[in-house]
Amino acid sequence: MRLTIVIFDGLTALDALGGYEVLSRIPGMEVEFAGLRRGIVATDTRALGLLAYRELAEVEHTDILYVPGGPGGTPLETDEAFLGHLRRLDATSTWTVSACNGAALLAAAGLLKGRKATTNWFYQHRLADYGATFVPVRYHRDGKYVTAAGVSASIDMGLFLIAQIGGEALAKTIQLGVEYYPAPPFPERTPAEAPADAQALVRTFESSMGPALLALPPNFSGSFDVLPTHPPAERGGERRTA
């Protein structure tokens, strides 16, 4: 079984790596990280780079198509080349999954039209824009599509998918292996329960500071060539290419 994790400039690391950490532990799973081009892509913090060692164009098929999110996903919602790869790989995938606003990328590709899905709590309106219905849950399955809420929910989504593929015993074993029994130090259990000022700050960050971060060069750009995936006009500033 093959797991293809799509990565791009400005993704949120845990969106991709949360699900990766558990799904990659399924016995016999082949994992690949794929981007529009091979090379290093910088995450949204600009402090971490992930290696796309496959081009999406090279991937002929996959069993699990995994699309994370992050502020870098927003401009890709109108990138027909990128969306075309998602449509092509989804056509023969057994499962198509997303984390955070990766669901908006699936929706922008037309894959969630008429379906129910979840995504990051403050990005739910984008699903409606593309004809999908938001459900306020940690993860949700609609047919072969499994979508996760924000960031850390990628782990929950991955464990759910493991149970569908290999059974509950395998999922529980992997859950134990990564010791995933979250017990946050605060009483809130859903975004709706979070303090109003915290909600406002997150909304402000996501609407302005997230995109602004993408205009910054990665911390490691002086040591490695970093692949841009957005045109310079959308990123603001010079970027180095491989």
Q: Is the pLDDT of residue 94 over 70?
A: yes
Tell me what percent of the residues of the chain surpass a pLDDT of 70. 94
Domain boundaries, given as residue ranges, for the chain: 2-177
Which pLDDT does position 158 carry in this prediction?
98
Q: Which residues pair with 139 in a beta bridge?
A: 148
Instruction: Choose between 221 and 95: higher pLDDT.
Output: 95
Q: What does the pLDDT look like over 186-224, one tens digit per residue?
A: 999 999 999 999 999 999 888 888 788 888 999 998 878
Known catalytic residues? 100
Superfamily of chain region 2-177: Class I glutamine amidotransferase (GATase) domain (3.40.50.880)
Side chain identity at residue 102, one-letter code: G
Average pLDDT over residues 23-50: 97
Can you give the pLDDT at residue 196? 95
pLDDT in tens, 144-175: 999 999 999 999 999 999 999 999 999 999 99
CA distance 147 to 198: 24
Triad 49, 55, 60: Cα angle to 5° = 140
Whether the CB-CB separation of 229 and 209 falls below 8 Å is answered with no
Is the pLDDT confidence value at 42 over 90? yes
- Full-prediction pTM beyond 0.85? yes
Reference 62, options 144, 157, 141, 169; nearest CA is 144
| Strand partners for 67 | 98
Amino acid at 135: V
**Residue 230, pLDDT score:** 53
